Structure 1
Amino acid sequence: MNSRVTAPFLVAVLLLSGCGAQVEGAAADRKVTVKRCGQDVEYTTPRRAVVYEGGSADKMFALGLTQHVHGYVMPPANPPVTESPWAAEYAKVKFLSDDLLNRELVVEAKSDFVVAGWRSGFSDQRGITPAILDDLKIQSFMHAESCFNYPGHPERVTPFEGLYTDLERLGKIFGVEDRAASVVADYRKRVEAVKAQAPKGDPVPVFLYDSGTDKPFTAGAQVPPNEIIQFAGGRNVFSGLDARWSEVTWEAVVQAKPEVIVILDYGDKPAAEKIKFLKEFPTTSKLPAVVNDRFHILDYNEGISGPRIVDGLEGFAKYLRELPK
């Protein structure tokens, strides 16, 4: 731990056990300044966190912080939590809602900390933003990957670096920096191993299909699938979009001639339905990826900011390595 945390009046007793990381004694009331996007924010160790979507919950669970999580909000797009590597941890906390994140829910839960992404959880339109929660004396944390267009305090990090940054910042907020450093080091090692095995030569052109029939919704440069494709040895045909998730045209997809299509698999929009559409839709039925039946399914939680993007990278990299030459 750093010197700020180990100062005599902020001594934290870190207990690592099978139940995760516990911070006891004086650490429960410790204060630390950590960035929330580009803004320096002072945090008091949270005790009743509300986490939105699998990525937020998984970051807390990966750091052994289950006892600090009061409950989770899981919209229908998320696959069942019983399929999560942290299913046992989900079972220890409350399921609060399958709706979008909202202020009333957070207040009713008596939460002192909310974890979500900017515009993927927090929203001006729905009246739940970090500024609004600040006025309510409720702390908040935003995924760094979502911060590039956060009003007033933008921050730009690449998606995988965003994951590492979030884990390190959460580790500091909860006084488990050593645990965070260990988790991040493991993820970095796994990512570097994938890069080392990536196929040589020209990268395979890859299109990520999220949803949409009139116009397709896809991954721009600011979300994890862009780097999943890149690190595995492919090329996201829409990597030039300086955006997160973005609507494009079918004409642009056809012009890109993708040889592989990654299907983002939602809980409420199954991959099989999307593949069926691409095969039957005249505009896409002749794409190289469709003709050669080269589809790779990426689980929803392997495509949004969270620990499972490393699993998603390893799975897609294996798929690319095993493609016929």
Structure 2
Amino acid sequence: MNPSRHRRLGVTAIAGLVLLTGCGAQVREDPAAAPSTVVERCAEPVPYPRPARTVTYEAGSTDKLLVLGLADAIRGYVMPPANPPVTESPYADQYARLELLSTDLLNRELVVDAGADMVVAGWRSGFSDERGITPELLDGLGIQSFMHTETCFNYPGFPEQVPPLEALYSDLDRLGRIYGVPDRARDVIASYRARVAAVEQAVPADRARPGVFVYDSGTDRPRSAGSQVPPTDLLRIAGAENIFGDTPSRWNEVTWEAVVDRQPQAIVIVDYGDRSAEEKIQFLRSLPQLQGVPAIRDDRFFVLDYNEAISGPRNIDGAEKLGAWVRSLPPTS
């Protein structure tokens, strides 16, 4: 991909688009004629007219708009079935007033049929070359897009590497500017920073940080968290350490041998998918190769909700819960 190519200028392509209605022809307003705010999409500066019909993918995207008071700007949301039900969300009342557009993966037809003027998702977490829905393609259709900064780590042409929690704050700031609520965004970010600081301040200064294995999924080879996803930051804030936090990646496959070599004192289970958290725990307990691992021997497990593990406002809840749990663990020898 050529970074010098101005893909974002595709928004002007709809200037002359005519929508046929039963009463005749209606010309859709040209977004390029409206005032725009230039905001980074990963590392690419993009001019954004203010969106009004946003399609969001998964709860991380939707929650970011809801905490900014932008429910009225959401056309609808897409929620694959592996996600926890929105009825369990702290924003359940607001979700009840939104339209669930699909329980499938994000795709171009869905976005076009919804009449979206904006899509909020992540790179390889919603947007995908393989499925034919990318920011570049949407630019050509005159549909804006915003990507979670946390997922920009390996975005072709415009990568951006930011610590996961800072990426959350960056997203809220950028979305606040795009949707015209920058003051609200600043207030939310300040409140989150204060809550995170309180968790960090509660960590005993003289206590060794326990090593923690983050188990996402996988049987033959476990899938775990690298340096570029929220659980690594949440554990650090809580006073612990991700045993694979030195791996420069997002979610990736490791080996059981590597888990054993790093001797985690505790295990965090990411709760989502076809297997329940308890089923994942029982599976780990049953593995012969893990029987000598301190986390298994001492039965130290913590269940992290999926939406506390992906980029979104609930990361802060996850940090607070993890902080209390880590402080409850016996000191490591």
TM-score by length of 1: 0.90
- For residues 98 and 242 of structure 1, the distance between their equivalents in structure 2, rounded to whole angstroms, comes to 31
Matched residue, 1:65: 70
Partners of 1:50 and 1:69 within 8 A in 2: yes
Amino acid in the other structure paired with 1:274? K
Per-residue deviation at 1:89? 1.1
1:233 matched to 2:259:
no
TM-superposition CA deviations, 1:206-238 (whole Å, max 9, x none): 000000010000000000000111111111100
Which stretches in structure 1 are left out of the alignment for 5+ residues? 1-27
Q: Output aligned runs, 1:286-325, within 5 Å.
A: 286-325=292-331
Q: Secondary structure at the match of 2:270?
A: strand
Matched, 1:156 2:157: no
Q: Return the alpha-carbon distance in structure 2 between the equivalents of residues 276 and 146 of structure 1.
A: 31
Tell me which of 31, 48, 51 is aligned to 2:36.
31
The reply to whether residue 204 of structure 1 matches residue 220 of structure 2 is: no
Aligned to 2:279: 273
- Residue 285 (structure 1) shift: 2.8
Unaligned runs of 5+ in 2: 1-32
Asked if 1:119 corresponds to 2:140, the answer is no
Amino acid at match of 1:322: S
2:135 to 107, 130, 133: 130
Structure 1 letter corresponding to 2:283: F
Q: Is the 8 A contact 1:223 1:244 kept in 2?
A: yes
Q: What is the CA RMSD across the aligned residues, in angstroms?
A: 1.1
- Cα deviation 1:187-214 (Å, max 9, x = unaligned): 0000011111113332101000000010
Give the aligned length.
Answer: 298
For 1:52-73, what per-residue CA distance to the aligned partner results, in whole angstroms no more than 9, with x for missing partners?
0110000000000000001000
User: Residue 40 of structure 1 corresponds to which residue in structure 2?
Assistant: 45
Shift of 1:29: 4.3
Residue in 2 aligned with 1:224?
230
**1:236-258: CA deviation from partner (whole Å, max 9, x where unpaired):** 10011100001000000000000
Higher Cα radius of gyration = 2
1:269 to partner: Cα distance: 2.6
| Secondary structure class of the residue paired with 1:99 | coil
Between the aligned partners of 1:254 and 1:99, the Cα distance in structure 2 is 36
